[in-house]
């Protein structure tokens, strides 16, 4: 069994997650740490970050070191070698208002299983009703779902954003929520989860109120940047880069990452919103770069 990157969790309301709210939805708190995964290979527990297999010489915020000295995971995998655990290694990221006793723990948010041989590539998600008791038996921390909602309206999900106090200090609110429908495949035939990030949602909502007016006076590329390149997006991607153990300079990675996010996550949205506009992508990239620099002045 080798490293396998966790799936992309798409923003709620995009083409990737269209229709996920049709049916029984499980709502989970979204933690703001760094992504991690655990699996069993070569007779020992293996660990990964968001993008790579970790080694003692190339750890990620101490996550591998944590797993090496925590016997719970080895006990689990000795009995369940054909499982893979995905979760959040809670270390300071953009949100720093978690309870003191919550830090530097690994919180499982998804469990995957392959049938039969652990070398199989046919993996499936395990329902929380099936993995909760198993994780509790080994004392492994996990993120519980906080609500089950049937056919929720967008407003119903937005209201849950301000109710997420999981692991937060008193009076504080969490980063956002993740919506999972275990019977859902998106229009591309993929299992996909949806996320709502509180600060990004609120910032985008305020901006969207004036987006149509701005388009008439600014040009389509400016309107796209004003609406979709948010401070929340830039700071989130910056924090991911800062938390990675990499010798590559931050500036070019941040600029390319933000532009990549806009193209991969928002193109369908602005095509619909602005009714099939003609877009100068060279100009769009230039404006995205300018806005990114404004939101991360410490690096430019």
Distance between CA atoms of 178 and 259, rounded to whole angstroms?
24
Number of other CB atoms surrounding residue 96 within 10 Å: 10
Are 56 and 246 in contact by the 8 Å Cβ rule? The answer is: no
Q: What are phi and psi of 96, to 5 degrees?
A: -120, 25
| CA 253 to each of CA 11, 174, 177, 232: distance values in angstroms, whole numbers, following the listed order | 22, 27, 27, 17
* Segment 17-51, tens digit of pLDDT: 999 999 999 999 999 999 999 999 999 999 999 88
Residue 207: other Cβ atoms inside 10 A: 16
Tokens 């198993």 map to which residue? 134
Q: What is the mean pLDDT of the chain?
A: 89
Query: Considering only CA atoms, which of 138, 137, 162 is closest in space to residue 29?
Result: 162
Any idea what DSSP says for residue 49? -
Least confident of 30-34, 70-74, 245-249, 260-264: 245-249
State yes or no: pLDDT of 214 exceeds 70.
no
Average pLDDT over residues 293-298: 93
Interatomic CA distance for residues 46 and 54, integer angstroms: 8
CA 214 to chain centre: 30
Which has the closest alpha carbon to 6: 218, 252, 262, 195? Answer: 195
CA–CA separation, 108 vs 262, rounded Å? 28
Of residues 288 and 122, more confidence is placed in 288
Per-residue tokens: 267: 């193109």
- Asked whether the predicted pLDDT for residue 96 surpasses 70, the reply is yes
C-alpha span between 138 and 38 (Å, rounded): 15
Alpha-carbon span 190 to 28, nearest angstrom: 20
Confidence of residue 272 (pLDDT cuts 50, 70, 90): confident
The label of the residue with tokens 């978690």 reads: 98
Q: Are 269 and 279 in contact (CB under 8 A)?
A: no
Is the pTM value of this prediction over 0.85? Answer: no
């Amino acid at each position: 069994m080798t490293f396998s990157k966790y799936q992309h969790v798409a923003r709620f309301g995009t083409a990737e997650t269209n229709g996920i709210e049709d049916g029984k939805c499980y709502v989970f708190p979204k933690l703001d740490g760094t992504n991690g995964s655990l699996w069993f290979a070569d007779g020992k527990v293996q660990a990964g970050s968001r993008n790579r297999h970790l080694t003692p010489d190339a750890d990620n915020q101490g996550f591998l070191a944590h797993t090496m000295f925590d016997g719970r995971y080895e006990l689990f995998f000795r009995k369940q070698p054909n499982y893979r655990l995905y979760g959040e290694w809670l270390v300071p990221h953009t949100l720093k208002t978690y309870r003191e006793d919550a830090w530097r723990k690994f919180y499982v948010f998804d469990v995957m299983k392959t049938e039969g041989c652990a070398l199989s590539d046919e993996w499936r998600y395990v329902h929380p009703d099936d993995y909760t008791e198993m994780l509790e038996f080994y004392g492994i921390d996990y993120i519980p779902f906080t609500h089950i909602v049937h056919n929720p309206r967008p407003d119903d999900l937005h209201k849950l954003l301000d109710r997420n106090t999981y692991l937060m200090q008193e009076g504080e609110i969490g980063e956002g929520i993740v919506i999972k429908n275990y019977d859902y495949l998106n229009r591309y035939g993929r299992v996909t989860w949806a996320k709502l990030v509180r600060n990004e949602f609120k910032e985008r909502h305020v901006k969207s109120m004036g987006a149509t007016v701005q388009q008439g006076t600014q040009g389509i590329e400016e309107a796209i940047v004003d609406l979709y390149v948010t401070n929340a997006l830039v700071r989130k991607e910056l924090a991911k880069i800062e938390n990675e153990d990499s010798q590559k300079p931050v500036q070019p990675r941040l600029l390319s990452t933000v532009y990549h996010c806009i193209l991969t996550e928002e193109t369908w949205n602005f095509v619909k919103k602005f009714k099939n506009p003609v877009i100068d992508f060279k100009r769009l990239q230039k404006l995205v770069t300018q806005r990114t620099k404004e939101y991360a002045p410490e690096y430019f």
